[in-house]
Structure 1
Amino acid sequence: MEPNPPRRCTHADHLRDADGCIVRLCGIYRAVPTLKKMPRPGRPREESMLGEVVIAVEGSAAAYDPLAREDAPASVALGDGPRPADEIAAFDGKRVEVEGRLVLRPAANTDGTPPVAHRAPQAVLRAPSSPGLAD
């Protein structure tokens, strides 16, 4: 008997019921820029790419996150660490499919600091496969 194939998630509503499951996430691959330092008034923002990537899916993050605003776009972080630069160059802005374990409410890594000093952790796709272009 073959195991069930992973559920294909293309919309925020699909994510709510897939928490903790192996899924095939289908959405837009987006590199997330990091602000180098606070910009001075009238100056452009200085950003750098540190390898953080999200997969943006259709719908609102409020569908699976009770703390999200209704107009917040739905997105899932791709893994816990930085992604390779060649992968980002190949897929940034393109529709991809990637398989992994969906965790909607990962534990915050506070390292003993007060929880008010940290953002709430974002939904994450753990142990992601290599992305591939979606059909």
Structure 2
Amino acid sequence: VRAIFDETFHRLARSEGDVDVIELLVKAVENIKPLCEVEKVKIAGTTYDVPSIVGRDRQQSLAIRWILEGAEEGRISKSTSLEKSSFEEIVDAYRQRGIAHMKRKNLHRLASVKRRFAHFRWPTRTGIKIFSWIAT
């Protein structure tokens, strides 16, 4: 894993000479971070897809996970090395395109479509079910 990560960094340093590698990686993750997500909430026996705001830590973990998943998908479809596909996915994320960016875009589109159910978000906003004290 370390060798793959090092090789990806070396590829980034060679190709994007005018941009610092760390800044490029941070900007790529920033471009992929989702602002909202859709979670399932069950109310009166019906399950709704309710859009909610994503916390900072979850934004970062989702962005990194999507970049790695995009690299893996690119590796399988193009039959290239993981170093090359992760390099391409990071550069694509930096330029706001690629598989990870499409995942973010699709999630935001889904949240936009489901925004009519946003008023159902209040029971789970804090992560604690308000009605959990009721015996089931």
Q: TM-score range by the shorter chain?
A: under 0.3
Q: TM-score, normalised by structure 1?
A: 0.25
> Greater Rg, structure 1 or structure 2?
2
TM-score (norm 2): 0.25
Larger strand share, 1 or 2: 1
Which fold has the larger relative contact order, with Cα–Cα distance below 8 Å and residues 6 or more apart in sequence? 2
